[in-house]
Amino acid sequence: MKQTYAQSATRFQNVDSYKEWNIEAADEVYQISRWGEGYFAINNTGELCVLPNKDSHGPRINMMEVIDEMKAKKLSFPAVIRFHDILRSQVTNINKTFRATIEEARFNGQYMGVYPIKVNQMREVVEEIVSAGAPFNYGLEAGSKPELIAALAMNTNQNSLTILNGYKDQDFLRLALLGIQLGRKVIVVVEKYSELIQLLELSEKIGVEPMIGIRAKLATKSTGKWAGSSGDYAKFGLTIPEVLQAVRHMKNIGKEHCLKLFHFHIGSQIPDIRTIKDSITEGARIFCKLVKEGAKLEYFDVGGGVGVNYDGTGSINYTLKDYVGDVVYILKQTCDLEDIPHPNIVSESGRQVTAHHSCVVTNVFGAIEIGKSELQTEKVMNEHVLVSNIRDISTDISEKNYKDVYADALKIKEDTESAFKLGVLSLEERAKVETLFWKISRQAVELSKKDEYPADEILMLRNQMASQYLSNLSIFQSAPDTWGIGQILPVVPIHRLSQKPEVLASIADITCDSDGKIDCFLSPDGPSNTVPLHKLIEGEEYYLGLFMTGAYQDIMGDMHNCFGRLNEVHVFCDDDDPTDFYIEEIIPGNRSDQVLKTLQYNPETMASVMKSSIDQQVKRGKIRPREGVDLTDFYEHCLQSYTYLSK
C-alpha cells in the first residue's frame, strides 16, 4: 500500500522497545555493523572504536582516546579524523578481490584499477592510495587539467595507468602527451569525436604517439540519483555510430594500434546488481565487436558506480565481491564466445575506496526544546475564556482522549492568534495559551508512544517537537550531500553508548540557514526523522560522529557563512603503542583571515581600518587608551582564530 506523506516522513526509532539496553542494542539502533563493514565497533565501556584490521581481537583504536589526545594538543572541534589504515585496507581489498576472482575464473587479463581523484583530491588521501596501491600497480584517474597536473606528479609508477576523462583543451592534451614522453601509461579517453581529431593532430605535431581510450554511451540505463549519466542523452561519451567512425578513422590513417582502452560509465551509487550485469554484458559485446573491427584494445574500463551502503539498509543489493564476480565472469564468457583475447580490466571505484576512512567529530553545545516555558499560568480575575478553556482541558488529558484534547488545544491556539491580532487578547494572555498548548502537546507526544497506530497529525507533532541538538559544524562545509541530494550519513554518539539514549533529536548546525540541519537518519526500520541521543549533562562535553565522509564531502564543502575547512588529524594504527594508535599529522583548519582572503577581502586593511576607528573613539574620550589597545588586539585575535565556535 502506498504510504502517505505523513507516514513516510515521520518515522521514529522506538528505543523504548529495548527492555534491556546493552552494546548489542546500541549497535542495532545506530546500525554500526551494517554500514561500518567491520571497521567500527563499541567497546565494553560504551565508546566507539575503530578496528583497522577488521579484527575484533586485533588493534582497537578508541575514538575517545583520539579525542582526548586532540584536546591535549589544543585542537578545537569540529574536526576531521582520517583513519589511514582503513584507506589502505580498502585499496588492498578491491585489488585482492579482483585478483582472487580473476584467478578463480581463469581469466587471462589483469586488474589495473585506478582511483578517480575527484572523489577526494586531498594530497594526503591521494598519497596514501598511491602508496597502498603500489604493489598492485593501482593508478589514478583525472577529469580536469588541475587534477592531471596533480596526477602526473603523484603517479610516478610506470606500470600503473593514468586515465584521463572529461572534456579537454589543448593544454590538457599536451600534458597527457608529456606524461607519455616521461614513460607513463597515460590514456586519453575521448569524450567527443572532435577530441580525437584534435589529439591526433597535436600528437603528430610534437611526434608522440598517444594512448587513446573511447568512451561509449550504452543503451543500458542506471537507476537512482545519477541515472542521468547513462543512456543516449548522457553528458559524456560517443554514440555507437561515432565509436565505429572513430575506429575506422584510426584504421584509415594507420593508427589503430593507438586505441588502447574501451570505457563506459552508467552512474554513481548503482543500487541494483541487475543494472551492473546488463551494462557489463552490453559493454563486453561492444568491446569484442570493436576488436573484430580492428581496434587493438587492451583495456576494458567499467568506470565507477560501485554502491556504498551508507544507510545500513538493503538499498545496495550486492557486495563488492558480487560486483567483481559479474565483471570478470561476464567479460570472460563474452570474450570466449566471440573468440577474443581477454583484456585487462580497469575500474574507477573511488567511493568504495575512500568513504569509510574519514569522519567528522563535533561537540554538541546545546539543545532547542520546543515549547519549554516557565511562565506562570494560574487563573486570574476576568481572564479571557480562551485561557480558561485551554487550562481546563490541560488537566484532563489521558491515554484515551489525548488525540481529541490535542485537537481542541490546537483550535484554541488558532483562535487565540486571531483574537490577538484583533486586539481582543493581551500579550500575557496569548503567552499563557501558548504555554498551556505546548504542555498539552508534550503530553500528547508522550502518550502517543504507547499507541501502536498514532494519528498522522500526532506523528507530525512528534516530528515537530523533537529536540534539536546544536552541533558545532556547518552542514554545507562538512556534509553537503545531506543537504544537496538527501544522502543519509551515519550519525553516532562517540561515547555513552552503554547508556540508553533518552532523547529523539535532529541535528542543527551553526549556520544562519534553515537548511543547515540533518533530519533524516538511518535506523533498523529505514529512514528516521530523528536519532536517539543522550541527555546533555551540564559541564560535560557530548561528542557526535558523522561517518563515511571520505568520499566527496571533503572536497565539495563550501564556505557558507564563512565557515572554513576543519581541523584535521591523521591517525595510524600502532599495535605496540598502549593506545594502539598515534596521530601522524595535524592539519590546522581555516582561520577567519584565510577564509576572508579567499573571498577577496584584505584582512590587513580591515585590521587597519578597525584600529583607526578605535583610535578615533579614544581621541574623543569614548574609549580609554588601555581599552582601545585591548580592543584592537581582540579584533586581530579574531582574524587569526578558527572559524567555528570555541569556549
Is 395 within a domain?
yes
Amino acid at 237: G
Q: Are 173 and 290 in a shared domain?
A: yes
467: helix, coil or strand? strand
Give tens-digit pLDDT for 81-133.
999 999 999 999 999 999 999 999 999 999 999 999 999 999 999 999 999 99
Give tens-digit pLDDT for 409-445.
999 999 999 999 999 999 999 999 999 999 999 999 8
Residue-wise burial string across 179-191, b where 16 or more C-beta atoms lie within 10 A, e elsewhere: bbeeebbbbbbbb
- What does the DSSP 8-state code read for residue 425? S
Give tens-digit pLDDT for 314-330.
678 999 999 999 999 99
Rounded to 10 deg, the angle between the 625-639 and 603-619 helix axes is 170
Is 413 within a domain?
yes
Q: Are 221 and 283 in a shared domain?
A: yes
Is 183 within a domain?
yes
Q: What is the pTM of this model?
A: 0.91
Which carries the bigger pLDDT value, residue 325 or residue 464?
325
Residue 220 has pLDDT above 90, yes or no: no
Q: Are 399 and 322 in a shared domain?
A: no
Instruction: Output 26-30 pairs: Cβ under 8 A, ≥24 positions apart.
Output: 26/497, 26/498, 28/524, 29/501, 29/523, 29/524, 29/532, 30/490, 30/492, 30/493, 30/497, 30/522, 30/531
Is 323 within a domain?
yes
Measured from the Cβ of residue 11, the count of other Cβ atoms closer than 10 Å reads 18
Give tens-digit pLDDT for 479-528.
999 999 889 999 999 999 999 999 999 999 999 998 999 999 988 888 88
What are residue 583's DSSP bridge partners?
A: 571
User: Nearest 5 degrees, angle CA 429-CA 431-CA 434?
Assistant: 110
Q: How confident is the model at residue 312 (pLDDT cuts 50, 70, 90)?
A: low
Q: Are 323 and 408 in a shared domain?
A: no
Give tens-digit pLDDT for 260-299.
999 999 888 999 999 999 999 999 999 999 999 999 999 9
Per-residue pLDDT, 8: 42
What are residue 80's DSSP bridge partners?
A: 360, 568
What does the block give as the cell for 434? 501558548
Per-residue pLDDT, 265: 93
Is 216 within a domain?
yes
Per-residue pLDDT, 14: 72
DSSP per-residue codes, 312-368: SSSSS---HHHHHHHHHHHHHHHHHHHT-PPPEEE---HHHHHGGGEEEEEEEEEEE
| Domain range enclosing 312 | 165-348
Residue 11 has pLDDT above 70, yes or no: no
Average of per-residue pLDDT across 53-57: 91
Give tens-digit pLDDT for 345-404.
999 999 999 999 999 999 999 999 888 888 899 999 989 999 999 999 999 899 999 999
Average of per-residue pLDDT across 539-551: 96
- Mark which of 320, 348, 376 sits at the end of a domain: 348
DSSP strand pairing (79-83 vs 567-573): parallel
Which has the closest alpha carbon to 214: 191, 230, 235? 191
Q: Which helix (H) or strand (E) holds 430?
A: helix 427-448
- What CATH number corresponds to the domain at position 223? 3.20.20.10
Residue 13 has pLDDT above 80, yes or no: no
Q: Are 389 and 344 in a shared domain?
A: no
Q: Are 311 and 225 in a shared domain?
A: yes
DSSP strand pairing (79-83 vs 61-62): unpaired
Q: Are 305 and 391 in a shared domain?
A: no
Per-residue pLDDT, 322: 96
Q: Are 324 and 197 in a shared domain?
A: yes
Residue 575 has pLDDT above 50, yes or no: yes
Using CA atoms, how far apart are residues 195 and 190, in angstroms rounded to an integer? 6
Per-residue pLDDT, 225: 60
Residue-wise burial string across 274-287, b where 16 or more C-beta atoms lie within 10 A, e elsewhere: ebbbbbbbbbbebb
Using CA atoms, how far apart are residues 493 and 23, in angstroms rounded to an integer? 13
Q: Are 188 and 297 in a shared domain?
A: yes
Per-residue pLDDT, 311: 76
- Mark which of 348, 371, 395 sits at the end of a domain: 348
Q: What percent of the chain has pLDDT over 70?
A: 95
Per-residue pLDDT, 370: 85
Using CA atoms, how far apart are residues 585 and 588, in angstroms rounded to an integer? 10
DSSP strand pairing (211-215 vs 79-83): unpaired
Is 4 within a domain?
no
Beta strands in 51-104 (DSSP E): 61-62, 79-83
| Average pLDDT in the chain | 93
- What CATH number corresponds to the domain at position 402? 1.20.58.930
Q: How confident is the model at residue 6 (pLDDT cuts 50, 70, 90)?
A: very low
Per-residue pLDDT, 452: 76
Q: Are 181 and 233 in a shared domain?
A: yes
For the ranges 71-80, 227-236, 311-320, 474-483, the lowest mean pLDDT is seen at 227-236
What are residue 469's DSSP bridge partners?
A: 367, 507
55: helix, coil or strand? coil
Cα R_g (the chain), whole angstroms: 30
Using CA atoms, how far apart are residues 396 and 389, in angstroms rounded to an integer? 11
DSSP strand pairing (503-508 vs 517-518): antiparallel
Residue 142 has pLDDT above 90, yes or no: yes
451 close to 16: Cβ distance less than 8 angstroms? no
Residue-wise burial string across 234-266, b where 16 or more C-beta atoms lie within 10 A, e elsewhere: bebbbeeebbbebbeebeeeebbebbbbbbbbb
Measured from the Cβ of residue 622, the count of other Cβ atoms closer than 10 Å reads 11
Using CA atoms, how far apart are residues 213 and 298, in angstroms rounded to an integer? 10
Sequence-ordered list of residues with C-beta below 8 angstroms from that of 630, at least 6 positions apart, any chain? none
Per-residue pLDDT, 229: 55
Is 273 within a domain?
yes
Q: Are 329 and 439 in a shared domain?
A: no
Q: How confident is the model at residue 313 (pLDDT cuts 50, 70, 90)?
A: low
Q: Are 218 and 292 in a shared domain?
A: yes
Is 2 within a domain?
no
Q: How many domains does the chain have?
A: 3
Using CA atoms, how far apart are residues 542 and 547, in angstroms rounded to an integer? 16
Residue 457 has pLDDT above 50, yes or no: yes
Per-residue pLDDT, 9: 47
- Mark which of 462, 478, 510 sits at the end of a domain: 462
Sequence-ordered list of residues with C-beta below 8 angstroms from that of 257, at least 6 positions apart, any chain? 296
